[in-house]
Structure 1
């Protein structure tokens, strides 16, 4: 546990809720294993793709992510529907959105916590 990078990665992959890191252009940059389980998709199928692919036709989700990027505000209990690849089905989720900050406190992206309901 001496390597902080290894420790942080282990924590991320141990969480029971899904975690997404989204860029300012709303592209998924990183995800934990729980996201794969929730959406029944391999990581390769959504990494470097638009957040809208996991939450299609839900402008309120994308609008809130954009607000986090601009204002740095956090949002809790954002109701949404995730879309599974196979079979093509929707499932209810609860999202928490918070800014991903650089060491100088500039906003680098958005952390999206995905909780299955």
Structure 2
């Protein structure tokens, strides 16, 4: 049972009920504890239709329920990304500076990319 997140925070924003995998919630819960401030999930699981509507890539980990876009309450994207890497070295982390969020997925490639 996660301490900082509830599953509803990760559900598809279109209201279809597409759900996230528990491993993602549990992993982000540990990251949140280390970060020491709230993390807002702006996008979690997505159904294929919603993923298309928001311009997501066709093979998105959001569709698989294994990705979340995260905004730290303190605004420090670098610190969040570093903690994500520390606790999950195989995760994919994409930092979107101009949009103010970090994409985190359990895809297993272990890459960190600055997107903008």
The question of a shared fold, defined as TM-score above 0.5 by the shorter chain, is answered with no
Could you say which structure has the greater relative contact order, defined with CA pairs below 8 angstroms and 6 or more residues apart? 1
Report which of the two has the higher share of strand: 1
Q: Normalised by the size of structure 2, how large is the TM-score?
A: 0.27
